[in-house]
């Protein structure tokens, strides 16, 4: 099942995160409408602000390959070396990137604690009163 695969991929991607400053490892797995998975991890920087979250890494990889339609994203994050994870919820900037490319009412955001423990929200639930491309239409 795709949701389980997404969860596993998000957990697996934590190992590629580049986190010399926060030591907080995040992995993400983004599912396109036609069933392809794009993965991402967080990538930090000595100058701090150029840091890219795992979610945006996955989105930017996918969008730069021509993808525009997405169904779900799984996110797994927590301190390096933690015995178990807490639920890691996406930051505001990443929610806004989701708003740009995803359906407000149906896009699923899966926050992952383990392979078998995860919670599913819609974009609308985690970003109420969102501002997106439709807001600019006349
Ligand atoms: N981070 C993510 O990659 N995704 C989230 O959902 C929350 C935060 C990253 C940014 C930074 O590298 C580290 O986690 C600590 O904030």
pLDDT tens sequence across 58-109: 999 999 999 999 999 999 999 999 999 999 999 999 999 999 999 999 999 9
pLDDT at 121: 98
Choose one of 10, 18, 24, 25 to mutate for the ligand 1 pocket test, by most ligand atoms within 8 angstroms of C-beta: 24
What are the distances in angstroms from CA 85 to CA 24, 78, 104?
Answer: 11, 6, 27
CB of 85 within 8 A of CB of 76?
yes
DSSP 8-state symbol, 20: T
pTM of the model: 0.97
pLDDT at 1: 64
Strands 108-112 and 70-79: parallel
The one catalytic residue among 9, 44, 55, 100:
55
**CA 42 to centroid of ligand 1, rounded, Å:** 6
Ligand 1 centroid from CA 138, angstroms: 35
Sign of CA dihedral 43, 44, 50, 53: positive
Residues 111-126: tens digit of each pLDDT: 999 999 999 999 999 9
Identify whether 9 is a catalytic site residue. Answer: no
Q: CA dist 116 to 8, 35, 101, 107, 129, Å?
A: 9, 21, 28, 21, 31
- Residue 2: the pLDDT is 85
């Amino acid at each position: 099942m795709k949701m389980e695969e997404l969860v596993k991929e998000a957990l697996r991607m934590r190992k590629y995160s580049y986190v010399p400053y926060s030591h907080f490892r995040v992995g993400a797995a983004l599912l396109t409408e036609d069933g392809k998975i794009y993965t991402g991890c967080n990538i930090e920087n000595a100058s701090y602000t150029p840091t890219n979250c795992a979610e945006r890494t996955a989105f930017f990889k996918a969008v730069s390959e021509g993808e525009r339609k997405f169904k779900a994203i799984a996110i797994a994050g927590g301190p390096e070396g933690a015995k178990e994870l807490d639920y890691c919820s996406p930051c505001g900037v990443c929610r806004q990137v989701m708003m740009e490319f995803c359906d407000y009412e149906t896009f699923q955001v899966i926050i992952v604690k383990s392979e078998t423990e995860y919670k599913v929200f819609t974009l609308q639930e985690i970003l109420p009163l969102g501002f997106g491309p439709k807001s600019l239409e006349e």
